[in-house]
Amino acid sequence: MKILRNIVTAFIMLSTVVYAKEVQTVFSYSTPPFVFKDGSGIVMELMEKSLAYKSHTVKPVFVNIGRGLEMYKAGYVDASSLLNKSSGIKTNYSEYFMQYHNAIFALKKNNFKIEKLDDLSSYYFSSFQNATDYLGEEFAKVANKAKEKYSEIADQKQQVYKLLMGRTELTIMDKSIFEYYKNKLISEGKISKDIKIQKFELFKPSKFRAAFRDKQIRDDFNAGLKKLKESGKYDEIYEKYSNLYFKIKR
């Protein structure tokens, strides 16, 4: 009987090892504190630790948002941290695992009045790549109405820099990413620490799911994510980066 139990246990362990996979996953290269190229960041850790619950590992691929979408659609990678269902891509989506909190930023000295999204079309404004897919139908209509006044920038550090240097009037991005790059530009001596910012919060949080080609790996990710939340380790990841930089909203 003992021998039989040992055989069954060994078989289960072997099955787990055999199925455990290296999951090639797309991440945006310019979204700290969510993703850093050294393999750290909130999104990086959420993906890695959720998949590790079933012994999977992550092989990150760092690209801009637009390129990441194309790579996933073309089948070059196994998973993506950049998708939500508004992308229109039919695939195996996970449960929501994080959200971005986007806002409109301006130099305070300009004293702009932005009360609704349609007000944006009166100004020159920029956002991150594929923002018209992520920020909702109303924003997409405003961007289309603005025509050449609207632009999308792949490098979000440059997006912040152009606003702070007065090269665009408004920019739209996640609040924590903006804060990270503003502080970095100040530390590098590229902008003055005395620049004052005006912020308009007209967007609901953008909830993100991870996307997987393999349904079983998606299910394993969901199981790991659930465990992370139940154990409190999900909150610990956010607290870790909040302690390193500034308070980061979940």
Distance, in Å, from the CA atom of 10 to the CA atom of 6, rounded to the nearest integer, reads 6
pLDDT tier at 225, thresholds 50, 70, 90: very high
CB 145 within 8 A of CB 123: no
Please compute, for residue 137, the number of CA atoms within 13 A of its CA located in the half-sphere on the CB side: 0
Structure tokens at 55: 């012994």
Tell me what pLDDT residue 28 has. Answer: 93
Task: Quickly name the fold that domain 2-100+206-244 has.
Answer: D-Maltodextrin-Binding Protein; domain 2 (3.40.190)
Tell me what pLDDT residue 12 has. Answer: 46
pLDDT tier at 209, thresholds 50, 70, 90: very high
Q: For residue 20, is pLDDT > 80?
A: yes
Residue 128, helix vs strand vs coil: strand
DSSP state of 136: -
What's the pTM? Answer: 0.89
Residue 154, helix vs strand vs coil: coil
How many residues comprise the chain? 250
CATH 3.40.190.10 spans which residues of the chain? 2-100+206-244, 102-200
pLDDT tier at 4, thresholds 50, 70, 90: very low
The class that CATH gives domain 102-200 is alpha beta
Tell me what pLDDT residue 13 has. Answer: 46
Tell me what pLDDT residue 18 has. Answer: 52
Average pLDDT over residues 19-46: 94
Task: Summarize pLDDT for 137-164 with one digit per residue, the tens.
Answer: 999 999 999 999 999 999 999 999 999 9
Task: Summarize pLDDT for 123-138 with one digit per residue, the tens.
Answer: 999 999 999 989 999 9
Q: For residue 165, is pLDDT > 50?
A: yes
Q: What does each C-alpha distance from 247 to 43, 53, 69 come to in angstroms?
A: 16, 27, 29
Tell me what pLDDT residue 87 has. Answer: 76
Q: Give the strand pairing for 79-80 and 22-28.
A: parallel
